[in-house]
């Protein structure tokens, strides 16, 4: 009958505590100390913090944490032999506890940070153990870990298997029969663990335990894996750490109104007004200013206020009645400016005013005509260009060409932002991996998934604003 993983630890670690540090460093060719150092660096503690080091062993990680950050460290292990060695660390460890990681003897949210080393292979339920470790971690604190890994490259795996299955047991005999047993156990144990719990599954355990920004660093050709994550400050329901948008501020107070305006995207769409005016030989500055203000009220205030009423996609705390009032006042103000412009530009301009009001209302009621990709491109890209071009007397053919370009830019914005919005506002976690031809792997998390499209959006809105402002200024300077 197969032995449970939790039964392996007492059998393996009893009797090797005194030689554990030097033999571990020797057998790993110095990589074990390097991995532990990377683990400590990933914690980033402050001097006032209290850190729990689980599976502390002889206290190697605990001591380095205390020395590096001048913080208080509590070491925990189930091996009395290991804790005896850790107690000789010149008082650098604030406290030592004999207990199991599966049942930590601490209240919820006790520690600023938690670390563990080579632990999950020795527990019966790794997912439950990670949940227990997360339980005692304060919101915003770091969980960091070091585990052995299995190299992904076929050549590296073959060499790793040869070393762990044959070389290590033979070298272990140079120290003691006990070390031969330990070294013979190690390789098969690591492989069994990853067959039952692949790395992507381990990362999922972390995310399901309320941890965000889970990162895995594969070191020494994959022989060691350093993981780190931050405990969420709010329950999942959309990745609260990411926020609703890159420009969104922390919810509450005046910050909600900044977020509601979508400043980068509003500026982007107002730039289309400037592009339309820049086509005219001599655009009247009064008309240009009036058009910018009208579209700012219609798009920046009215449309966005009505949109926030539909399920609170930005997570603001603005009362619904205030959103209704803002939407109504914004739309009324834009319509009033449009009607005033009709007196200057003629009754035909009234069609543009009516179309603008209709587009905002259709957007408010989430009509498919406006909420589709093409509808979005025409409503928020082409329409501002054509309106400003007509109001300033621009020629028709260039106006249509520029309006087509604005529609395509808006379509690109829509395509890039759709995935970003979904991850930021609706995802619980992102779990994935990219495998490259050279055998290397890259873990996918929420930040990595949205980094490229959102990076493009951050650049594009600035580029469009600069382009529109420069072209319009060329008409006056």
Whole-angstrom distance, CA of residue 363 vs CA of residue 453: 24
Whole-angstrom distance, CA of residue 193 vs CA of residue 200: 13
Whole-angstrom distance, CA of residue 146 vs CA of residue 226: 5
Q: Does 237 score more than 50 pLDDT?
A: no
Q: Please write the tens of the pLDDT for every residue from 172-197.
A: 777 777 778 877 888 889 999 999 99
- Confidence band for 235, pLDDT divided at 50, 70 and 90: very low
Q: Does 6 score more than 70 pLDDT?
A: no
Q: Does 2 score more than 80 pLDDT?
A: no
Residues in the chain: 477
Long-range residue pairs from 161-168, CB within 8 A, at least 24 positions apart, any chain: 161/187, 164/190, 168/27
Which range of 221-235, 249-263, 265-279 scores highest in mean pLDDT? It is: 265-279
Q: Residue 106 contacts by C-beta under 8 Å, 6 or more apart in sequence?
A: 52, 136
Whole-angstrom distance, CA of residue 305 vs CA of residue 314: 11
Confidence (pLDDT) at 212: 87
Confidence (pLDDT) at 236: 43
Q: Please write the tens of the pLDDT for every residue from 81-112.
A: 889 999 988 788 999 999 999 999 999 999 99
Which of 176-185, 250-259, 367-376 is least confident?
Answer: 176-185
Whole-angstrom distance, CA of residue 474 vs CA of residue 360: 32
Q: Does 265 score more than 70 pLDDT?
A: yes
Q: Please write the tens of the pLDDT for every residue from 293-323.
A: 999 999 999 999 999 988 788 888 899 999 9
Radius of gyration over every alpha carbon of the chain, rounded to an integer in angstroms: 30
Confidence (pLDDT) at 8: 62
- Nearest to residue 453, comparing CAs of 406, 402, 418, 429? 418
Confidence (pLDDT) at 225: 95
Q: How many other C-beta atoms are found inside a 10 Å radius of the C-beta of residue 156?
A: 16
Mean pLDDT, residues 258-262 taken together: 95
- Confidence band for 462, pLDDT divided at 50, 70 and 90: very high
DSSP state of 149: -
Contact 311, 421 (CB under 8 A): no
pLDDT > 90: percent of the chain: 68
Q: In what order do the strands lie in the sheet with 137-148?
A: 95-98, 72-77, 50-54, 111-117, 137-148, 224-231, 211-219
Confidence (pLDDT) at 16: 77
Mean pLDDT, residues 430-454 taken together: 81
- Confidence band for 22, pLDDT divided at 50, 70 and 90: confident
If you search the block for the tokens 């587009």, which residue do you land on? 359
- Nearest to residue 72, comparing CAs of 91, 99, 100, 87? 91
Whole-angstrom distance, CA of residue 304 vs CA of residue 259: 10
Mean pLDDT, residues 424-430 taken together: 77
Q: Does 325 score more than 50 pLDDT?
A: yes
Helix, coil or strand: residue 231: strand
H-helix or E-strand spanning residue 118: none
Confidence (pLDDT) at 3: 62
Q: Could you tell me which residues are beta bridge partners of residue 217?
A: 226
- Dig out the tokens for 115 from the structure: 């670390």
Q: How many other C-beta atoms are found inside a 10 Å radius of the C-beta of residue 292?
A: 17
Q: Does 408 score more than 50 pLDDT?
A: yes
Q: Does 1 score more than 60 pLDDT?
A: no
- Confidence band for 412, pLDDT divided at 50, 70 and 90: very high
Whole-angstrom distance, CA of residue 471 vs CA of residue 271: 10
Confidence (pLDDT) at 444: 76
Mean pLDDT, residues 222-251 taken together: 79
Which range of 1-10, 16-25, 141-150 scores highest in mean pLDDT? It is: 141-150
- Dig out the tokens for 289 from the structure: 């200013």
DSSP 358-427: HHHHHHHTT-HHHHSHHHHHIIIIIHHHHHHHHHHT--HHHHHHHHHHHHHHHHHHHHHHHHHHHHHHH-
Confidence (pLDDT) at 417: 94
- Confidence band for 240, pLDDT divided at 50, 70 and 90: low
Confidence (pLDDT) at 453: 94
Mean pLDDT, residues 239-264 taken together: 86
Q: Does 73 score more than 50 pLDDT?
A: yes
Helix ranges (DSSP H) in 261-372: 263-278, 285-295, 304-309, 320-345, 349-364, 368-371
- For residue 59, CA distances in Å to 18, 33, 48, 359 come to 12, 12, 20, 66
Q: Does 242 score more than 80 pLDDT?
A: no
Does the global pTM surpass 0.95?
no
DSSP state of 120: G
Whole-angstrom distance, CA of residue 417 vs CA of residue 427: 15
Contact 225, 149 (CB under 8 A): yes
- Confidence band for 162, pLDDT divided at 50, 70 and 90: very high
Q: Does 5 score more than 60 pLDDT?
A: yes
Confidence (pLDDT) at 10: 62
Contact 28, 138 (CB under 8 A): no
Whole-angstrom distance, CA of residue 395 vs CA of residue 216: 57
Sign of CA dihedral 175, 177, 182, 184: positive
């Amino acid at each position: 009958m197969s032995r449970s993983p939790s039964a392996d630890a007492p059998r393996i670690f009893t009797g090797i505590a005194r030689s554990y540090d030097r033999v571990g460093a020797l057998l790993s060719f110095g990589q074990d100390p390097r991995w532990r150092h990377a683990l400590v660096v990933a914690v980033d503690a402050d001097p006032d913090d209290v850190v729990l080091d689980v599976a502390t062993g002889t206290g190697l990680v605990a001591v380095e944490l205390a020395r590096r950050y001048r913080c208080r460290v509590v070491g925990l292990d189930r091996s009395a032999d290991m804790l005896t060695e850790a107690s000789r660390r010149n008082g650098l460890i604030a406290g030592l506890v004999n207990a199991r990681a599966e049942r930590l003897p601490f209240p919820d949210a006790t520690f600023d940070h938690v670390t563990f080393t080579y632990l999950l292979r020795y527990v019966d339920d790794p997912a439950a153990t990670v949940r227990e470790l997360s339980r005692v971690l304060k919101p915003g604190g770091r969980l960091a870990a070091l585990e052995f890994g299995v190299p992904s490259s076929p050549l590296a795996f073959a060499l790793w298997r040869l070393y762990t299955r044959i070389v290590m047991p033979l070298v272990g005999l140079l120290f003691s029969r006990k070390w031969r047993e330990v070294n013979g156990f190690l390789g098969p144990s690591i492989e069994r663990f990853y067959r039952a719990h692949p790395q992507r599954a381990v990362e999922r355990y972390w995310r399901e335990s309320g941890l965000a920004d889970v990162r895995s660093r594969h070191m020494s050709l994959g022989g060691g894996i350093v993981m780190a994550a931050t405990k969420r400050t709010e329950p999942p329901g959309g990745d609260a750490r990411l926020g609703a948008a890159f420009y969104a501020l922390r919810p509450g107070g005046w910050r909600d109104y900044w977020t509601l305006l979508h400043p980068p995207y509003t500026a982007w769409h107002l730039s289309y007004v400037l592009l339309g005016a820049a086509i005219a030989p001599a655009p009247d500055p009064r008309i240009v200013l009036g058009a910018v203000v009208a579209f700012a009220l219609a798009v920046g205030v009215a449309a966005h206020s009505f949109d926030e009423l539909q399920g609170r996609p930005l997570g603001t705390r603005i009362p619904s009645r205030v959103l209704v009032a803002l939407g109504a006042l914004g739309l009324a103000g834009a319509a009033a400016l449009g009607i005033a412009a009709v007196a200057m530009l003629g009754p035909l301009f009234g069609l543009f005013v009516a179309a603008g009001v209709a587009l905002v209302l259709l957007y408010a009621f989430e009509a498919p005509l406006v909420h589709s990709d093409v509808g979005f491109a025409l409503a928020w890209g082409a329409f501002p260009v054509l309106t400003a071009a007509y109001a300033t007397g621009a020629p028709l053919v260039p106006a249509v060409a520029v309006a087509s370009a604005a529609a395509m830019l808006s379509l690109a914005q829509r395509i890039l932002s759709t995935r970003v919005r979904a991850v930021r506002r609706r995802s619980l976690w992102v779990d994935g991996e990219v495998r490259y031809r050279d055998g290397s792997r890259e873990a996918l998390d929420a930040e990595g998934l949205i980094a490229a499209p959102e990076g493009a959006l951050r650049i594009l809105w600035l580029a469009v604003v600069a382009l529109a402002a420069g072209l319009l200024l060329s008409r006056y300077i």
